[in-house]
Amino acid sequence: LWLGTGQVVRDTLTLGVVLQFILYVFMLYRPIRQLADRFNVLQMGIVNADRVFKLLAKDEGLAPPPHPQSPSWRGEIRFEGVWFAYVDKEDGEPDWVLRDVNLHIRPGERVAFVGATGAGKSSIVNLISRLYEFQRGRITMDGVDVREIPLEELRARVGVVLQDVFLFSGSLRENIRLHNAAKGDDAIWAAIEAVGAKRVVDRLPEGLDHDVRERGATLSVGQRQLIAFVRAYLSNPHILILDEATSSIDSESEQWIQRATETLTQGRTSLLVAHRLNTVRDADRIVVLQDGAIAEQGTHAELVAQGEIYHGLFEKQFQSMNLK
């Protein structure tokens, strides 16, 4: 500005040229400042992308079996003297979460696992899909050691519905189909109707094109849970694991989930981890865990009649429900 004013005074530049130059400077400054801001965003994006790529490249720590075998997938599961610990204690000894677990689950059987927090319920089902490795013993499916089954095949045949449902930013259709990309809308609608989720989808303005947003922000807890059931039904697993699937939903949604559970578990081996005992009363067998070991097992009526651990849990929960 100072230089331009001097040039105008000396009549070597016109005032219009100086004003035009100043205007161009202001016009150029804004995109340069925006570019600096975008550079910071780009740097943050590069750091986050690097974390994602490192996670994708991380070794699962599970070596492929030297002699892979495929079970018949009838759904028979056996635990033979299984011991498992997440970490070691300060003295170097394993801090056992499961202790000498022996269990036989027959094909097509619905088995529920109950017990206090930390009893080992979720640990048992996590070992079946090999999310963790056990330290001692053996787990077999139709006579084949789970460590000999190719991991990709194992996890494709074992369906899991968790308490915390993972939904991703995208359409409802994409979230239901997930890795079943070949499934069309007819198959998706058949799964929706089978688990009783049609009225939930019908309430959404865009139906299957509904924008779910990250972690299912546009859906209620009960709706997210039903979508997880639809996803599991569509994948048609041979073995189904329901881990605390009804622990954080309201009573109305629980009725929907109960009906969906009955449909989804019909004709397939099903393992139910439950906090609410009223949701597992109709299970073929209830396994009670205490301090990482099987304390008792039987039907609801048998365990109540025994008057021991399960009876105490049931009475305590029943009384708390009455107080409410």
Write the pLDDT tens digit of every residue in 141-152. Answer: 999 999 999 998
pLDDT of the residue at 324: 44
Report the pLDDT value the prediction gives residue 229, as an integer from 0 to 100: 87
* Burial status of residue 56 (CB atoms within 10 A of its CB: 0-12, 13-18, 19 or more): exposed
Query: Any idea what DSSP says for residue 146?
Result: G
For 143: left if phi > 0, alpha if psi spans -120 to 50, otherwise beta; the answer is: left
How far apart CA 324 and CA 316 sit, in angstroms, is 13
CB atoms within 10 A of CB 134: 23
pLDDT digits (tens, 9 = 90+) for 287-321: 999 999 999 999 999 999 998 999 998 888 776 55
**Contact predicate 83/102, CB 8 Å:** no
CA distance 131 to 97: 15
pLDDT at 323: 42
Mean pLDDT of the region 190-215? 84
Which one has a higher pLDDT value, 92 or 162? 162
> Mean pLDDT over all residues of the chain?
84
Q: For position 317, what pLDDT does the model report?
A: 76
